[in-house]
Amino acid sequence: MLSFTQVSHHFGTRTLFRELTLSLPESRVVLTGANGSGKTTLLLIAAGILPPSQGAVSFNQQNVADIAMRRTIGISASKVNLPGFFTVNDMLAFHARQFNCEPDCHWADYHWVNAFGLTPFLNTRVEDLSLGNYKKLSLILALMHSPELLLLDEPTNGLDDQTRSALEDCFESYAGQLIIASHEPQVFACNSHVRHLHLDASGVHDR
């Protein structure tokens, strides 16, 4: 369960969140809000990448900033930049070594690479990828180590129909907790067990 306790965050004189306390026991959560409302920032804080100005965030009662939580959390977000000088193949291999999740096959045969149609771009440098292919790589890196908490920022932006379909299948079968920030509230094909939250200037509210 992801929990925020008295979390506040400021950018200069602007306050994005003020004393946010929120528990998310649901396995599927969608967070909507206007551009600039702080959706991506909230995910970065939840991932332990960005420390809040005040308060704490925990997952299953462990602080997300603890180094031991690194393998527990996966994130794909526009503000998490990938090194442009790596090829896609190099980036996948590097991530797999870091998280001890190297597959027993060549990357060209790896499930997510095939499902997302990234095979033709394995030798392309990250900085030369199109927006859609960059998004595919970011999603694969978030998924590769099978994290218990998966945080996705606008995951369907720039994706072709094949990848959207593969991603929707992933959403349905994913074993861990999945939290998505999106301008599309119907991002899950089945919404019966999804918690919908909305972020605005007054805080986070159930919808």
pLDDT in tens, 146-159: 999 999 999 988 89
In tens, the pLDDT along 194-203 reads 899 999 888 8
Q: What is the DSSP string of 88-126?
A: HHHHHHHHHHHTT---SS-GGG-HHHHHTT-GGGTTSBG
Amino acid 201: pLDDT: 83
Residue 128 pLDDT greater than 90, yes or no: yes
Six-digit token pair at 63? 């602080």
pLDDT surpasses 70 at 192: no
Nearest alpha-carbon partner for 139 in 153, 128, 125: 153
φ, ψ for residue 108, nearest 5 deg: -65, -20
Kindly state the tokens that stand for 93: 């291999």
Extract the tokens encoding 84: 């442009």
Find where tokens 């977000």 sit: 77
Look at 172 and 147; give whichever has higher pLDDT.
147
pLDDT at 190: 62
**pLDDT for residue 132:** 94
User: What does the mean pLDDT of the chain come to?
Assistant: 92
Phi, psi of 196 (to 5 degrees): -105, 125
The residue to which tokens 């094949």 are assigned? 162
pLDDT by residue (tens digit) across 174-188? 999 999 998 876 776
Is domain 2-206 annotated with CATH 3.40.50.300?
Answer: yes
pLDDT tier at 172 (50, 70, 90 boundaries)?
A: confident
pLDDT score for 188? 67
Residue range 1-26: mean pLDDT, rounded: 93
pLDDT in tens, 21-63: 999 999 999 999 988 889 999 999 999 999 999 999 999 999 9
Residue 98, number of CB atoms within 10 A of its CB: 13
Residue 186: closest CA among 145, 156, 151: 156
Does the structure show a pLDDT above 70 at 79?
Answer: yes
Position 189 scores a pLDDT of 54
